[in-house]
Amino acid sequence: MGAVAFGTFWEIAMDDLRRRFATLDGVRAPDLWDTIGARAADLGPVATVTPVSEPVLRSRRSPGRPLIVLLAAAALLVALVAGALVMGSGLVKRPAVVPPEVSASLGPIVTPTATPSANPTASAAAQGPVRLVAYTVSEPIKDCQEPERSICNVDRLWTVNPDGTGAHRLPQDSVRGVLGWTSDGSRIMYSDNGNLAMTDATGSTTAIVPSRPWCPAGAKRIDCQITFVEGGAVSSTTLVPDQTLCPAQVRDDNCQANIEEGVAVAPDGSRIGYVLSEGRELDISTVVTFDLSSGRVTRLQSTRSGGPFQCRTSASEGVNGRPTWAPDGTKLAFERQVIGPLRNGACQATVFVVDADGGNLVQLVPERMVALSPSWSPDGTRIAFHSATPRPGYPSDERALTADIYTIRPDGHDLQQLTDDGTSIFPRWTSDGRVVYRHLRSMSDRIETAATWVMDADGGNKTRIAADDIRALTEAGCTVCPYGPASGDAYWQPQP
Amino acid sequence: MQVMESAAAVIDARPDIEGLYRTDGDRLWRAIYAFAGDPEIASDAVAEAYTQLLRRGSAVRDPAAWVWRTAFRVSRGSLKARGRDEQVALHQPPHSDAYIDQDLLDAIGQLPDGQRAAVVLFYYADLPVREIADRLGSNSLAVRANLTRGRRRLRDLLGDRDG
């Protein structure tokens, strides 16, 4: 294919660059340890204060922090008009099961309680299973002396009971977003500095998808394996470096698993779907599935993504993202962005459906329709998405955007428009087949100001719900919904 | 609940941090040198980053990533203070006992700040894009964009000599 020829051209040039950079190793670095020791002695230790009592309301996240689904996607909307790509991060639609060999190594799983407790593990064991809601909160570090705010915020995993009681902070401290629950509800999946990690709902036991060695042979990563004790309990954390999720025989630096842009767990828990960046340029965007028991990676769709600010010329190119499984596990839907100029210099985006083995690729929506953020209905009969389209004749800014919620059958027929206000985005299905979405007063508003609404699958009975009221969100049937105190979406624990 | 980092915790962390410095400090210094083009800035940034790491001790969860991010931030601040953010004129380092590709260093010095950092971390430090984003306090898309542009610019600048 053309991609191969292109890659070969670059590989020649890039190998040469690597060789030339390697000459830097000839530069002798001074030994600074005595200087460091002397400076440290002059300054003394630093006080770090970590708030734990209650979640802090939506403090700003770090610049590189992923999963912030709505914020990133808001940037995408602006980027559509501006003619640049800002790619949104993805969501987990359905969670997965920890592979048998991992579960065996973790010991018994304790399900937490409905009441807050200083010792959640013990009280959880005493009170039996309940559903929980998992989310992350970006918390400031008190008295932080760093000039960069990103260093002064730390993201924390929280759980809360579905009635809003018992908010509990888990001990993990390098979290960059919840990715969802495993399908049996036993684990919360989250991004740990870009690595896929799992913890039980108490946070006391954290594990990972194992099946591959931590570091590929010859890798020079200095911190690819992390094992430590945390939470004051006997616990170990092991992580999946993103390269672990890459196909075999791929060089360490030629593949990135973009788990924070969407990890979708197959309904039976056997596989996860996500998107890789591959190649020397990391400019090949590939939708893959990862078999949790065998470690086999299956490529479903590979496209030349190009630079992030370039519109590609056709729908067969572009950046893939946000995979979501059909409830029967036979297909995935995903979005593809920057696939050709639309209007006002903006790029196109669309949604595809593909078989779980990579066959039968179907472009779900009409050619000129922008489609983003697909979400498969619980009964598998429809896919919801939002369409953000420049208004003809408007200048190139956010006022030119109109965004509404649509649903369509997985075969690409029976397109239905559910909202017509022009400012509705990010549909999610509730457990009873309704649609939760975000509604902005204006497309120029910040996504954090969006209200949360729920409507029937045909667009009827639109009702606003309080996004900071977990009980109300639970009663609305939320499985994944925006939650006020959270940095992003909250995830309801599946019923066993 | 407040968790105070005690002096004892810092002392406990010291051997690990020295171990990290012994294994990774030179590489970080060279990366900062390639980025900033000045051995003095590199030494100050690395020393400052490790000093801050020592002060924080076990409060830093991922010391390797943290110290790189901090060192790049410090060196970036030094460059800005010198008013040389856009273009870096690289000097020969004080201690050089092997061939150094001065053409490459000069070319790196002509890249904008973000491209320079991304290219150095990708080609010299051998870090994947996501980790580069972590260490620069950036995001993957921005790093990829900087990498793509930086590579093209480097190819243009070095093109004649590459033949």
- CA dist A339 and A346 (Å) reads 10
pLDDT at residue A415 in the model: 95
C-alpha angle A126/A131/A132, rounded to 5°?
Answer: 95
Pair type for strands A206-207 and A255-257: unpaired
Token reading at A469: 């009221």
Higher pLDDT, A294 or B105: B105
| B33·A253 Cβ contact <8 A | no
Residues of chain B with pLDDT > 90, as a percent, come to 9
pLDDT at residue A341 in the model: 65
Chain B positions touching A155 (Cβ under 8 A) are none
**Partner residue facing B55 (CB), from A20, A40, A226:** A40
pLDDT at residue A239 in the model: 42
Q: How far is B140 from chain A (nearest CA, A)?
A: 7
SS3 B119: helix
Chain A positions touching B47 (Cβ under 8 A) are 32, 35-36, 39
Secondary structure (DSSP) of A17-50: HHHHHHGGGGBPPP--HHHHHHHHHHH-----B-
- CA dist A375 and A410 (Å) reads 11
pLDDT at B130 over 90: no
Secondary structure in 3-state letters for B4-56:
CCCHHHHHHHHHHHHHHHHHHHHHHHHHHHHHHCCHHHHHHHHHHHHHHHHHH
Token reading at A128: 């039996």
Window 100-159 of B: residues touching A by CB (8 A cutoff) are 100-101, 104, 120, 122-124, 126-131, 133-134, 136-141, 144-145, 147-149, 151, 154-155, 158
Q: How far is B144 from chain A (nearest CA, A)?
A: 7
pLDDT band at B108 (very low <50, low <70, confident <90, very high): confident
- CA dist A39 and B46 (Å) reads 12
Pair type for strands A153-160 and A168-169: antiparallel
- CA dist A407 and A379 (Å) reads 13
Among residues A271, A272, A275, A239, which one has the least CA distance to residue A259?
Answer: A275
- CA dist A431 and A496 (Å) reads 14
Which residue carries 């991010």 as its tokens?
B69
- CA dist A71 and A455 (Å) reads 23
Chain B positions touching A23 (Cβ under 8 A) are 98-101, 104
Query: What is the reported pTM?
Result: 0.58
Q: How far is B12 from chain A (nearest CA, A)?
A: 12
Tell me if B71 sits within 8 A of B20, measured CB to CB. no
pLDDT at residue B143 in the model: 77
Secondary structure (DSSP) of A285-329: EEEEEEETTT--EEEEEEEE---TT---SSTTSSEEEEEEE-TTS
Residues 6+ apart with CB under 8 A from A459: A405, A416, A417, A418, A419
Q: Which amino acid is at A298?
A: T
Strand order, beta sheet including A188-192: A175-181, A188-192, A195-199, A206-207
| A32·B50 Cβ contact <8 A | yes
- CA dist A276 and A250 (Å) reads 12
- The ipTM, to two decimals, is 0.81
- CA dist A24 and B126 (Å) reads 13
Which of the 8 DSSP states describes residue B93? P
pLDDT at residue B148 in the model: 76
Token reading at A359: 């066959």
Chain B positions touching A65 (Cβ under 8 A) are 139
Token reading at A393: 């004749």
Tell me if A412 sits within 8 A of A391, measured CB to CB. no
- CA dist A324 and A90 (Å) reads 9
CA distances, B81 to each of A25, A315, B46, B106, B154 (Å)? 28, 46, 17, 21, 26
Which of the 8 DSSP states describes residue A54? S
Q: How far is B78 from chain A (nearest CA, A)?
A: 14
Weakly modelled stretches of chain A, pLDDT under 70? 1-16, 43-130, 141-153, 174, 193-195, 205-261, 279-282, 292-295, 306-311, 338, 340-347, 390-401, 443-448, 496
**Partner residue facing B148 (CB), from A33, A49, A307:** A307
pLDDT at residue A272 in the model: 83
Chain B positions touching A53 (Cβ under 8 A) are 1
Return the top range by mean pLDDT from B50-64, B73-87, B133-147. B50-64
- CA dist A243 and A422 (Å) reads 40
